[in-house]
Structure 1
């Protein structure tokens, strides 16, 4: 992977261009019998002088939201085939639906760091941890201790957290809609 990255880098391209210039010097008769050294030297000069590659630390918001959505969809699909209480499956679906509403707008989600953090935490940690903790219990133990009710309670808390986050995330759109409604009323 590092080799293919270097082959497409500016350093390699600049070195190749200067190396080709060295070959042209050889064919023109200006490099003499040391043409190999001239070609290699010009390649090295080009590779050393070319600017380094840009470092990109921030991921594309569309890719990031797509990865979160894939993780969420995979979790919802997996839960439907597992041993969870009947009340838990629709709650997980409701949480997923609220989160998808924000993941469908990746650029706006990236612009709201609090919402992005909350969605990432809900999808990557909180929701899977609640379900996994329940599934790690033997079925007889979970039934005896009422762990299904605990899972449902945790899912209710996660749903409330997702709704609070979505309400803050969509507040500006709701305000724009209300403003437009007042504008239309005032126009008459």
Structure 2
């Protein structure tokens, strides 16, 4: 594979062209008995001065497709959470968080705005695929251990704090998307006003 890539490279093509020129000089009698050295030297010089082949940059992932997969993962997460027994305070915060995630992922113009921001998609993806399931799983495990060693810090308290942090993160993400839309509207207003003046 590497040999084929080199044979098709700019360096090999430039070197071959110079080598053919050297062969032409040898046939014209300019190089004499040193013709192999001249052909090889011109090939090497051509290969050295040719620009290197630049690998083609991979296309960025299609964030709309990523959101489709994330919706499926979110549906599976909701099924998992429906089977988990949570304390009332944490359950209320979890419901608010899931409602916010659902609104962001709901197909439509909000999801289109979200798909335009790779960092926001990453934050939401990490929260749904990793952070939230880890919070609930850690709570379930810690609750069992807490029964064996009472007096340690309450797993319920940790879960509430974790859910609050995730909710704050989701609110910041929503505010950033809203601000981006607001800036877009302001920019369009400025453009129309400037166009009207000219």
Q: Normalising by structure 2, report the TM-score.
A: 0.53
What secondary structure, in the 3-state scheme, does the structure 2 residue paired with 1:84 have? coil
Which among 127, 132, 149 is matched to residue 127 of structure 1? 132
5+ residue gaps, structure 2, are 1-57, 190-198
Which digits, 9 at most, give the CA deviation of each residue in 1:20-72, with x for residues without a partner?
A: xxxxxxxxxxxxxxxxxxxxxxxxxxxxxxxxxxxx86544333212212222
Change (3 A) 1:138 1:157: closer
Which digits, 9 at most, give the CA deviation of each residue in 1:74-103, with x for residues without a partner?
A: 223322321221222221221122222322
Greater displacement, 142-151 / 78-87: 142-151
Which among 165, 171, 192 is matched to residue 157 of structure 1? 165
Aligned residue pair count? 126
Deviation of the 1:136 alpha carbon: 2.1
Deviation of the 1:139 alpha carbon: 3.1
Question: For the residues of structure 2 that align with 1:125 and 1:103, how far apart are their CA atoms?
Answer: 17
Greater Rg over alpha carbons, structure: 2
Q: Normalising by structure 1, report the TM-score.
A: 0.56
Which among 118, 121, 127 is matched to residue 116 of structure 1? 121
Question: For the residues of structure 1 that align with 2:69 and 2:181, how far apart are their CA atoms?
Answer: 25
What secondary structure, in the 3-state scheme, does the structure 1 residue paired with 2:88 have? coil
1:89 counterpart residue number: 91
Structure 1 runs (4+) greater than 4 angstroms displaced: 56-59
Q: How does 1:74-85 map to 2 (within 5 A)?
A: 74-85=76-87
Change (3 A) 1:93 1:138: closer
Matched, 1:107 2:115: no
Change (3 A) 1:131 1:157: same
Question: For the residues of structure 2 that align with 1:89 and 1:70, how far apart are their CA atoms?
Answer: 22
RMSD of aligned Cα (Å): 3.0
Question: For the residues of structure 2 that align with 1:62 and 1:120, how far apart are their CA atoms?
Answer: 13
Which digits, 9 at most, give the CA deviation of each residue in 1:145-171, with x for residues without a partner?
A: 311111011100110011011110121
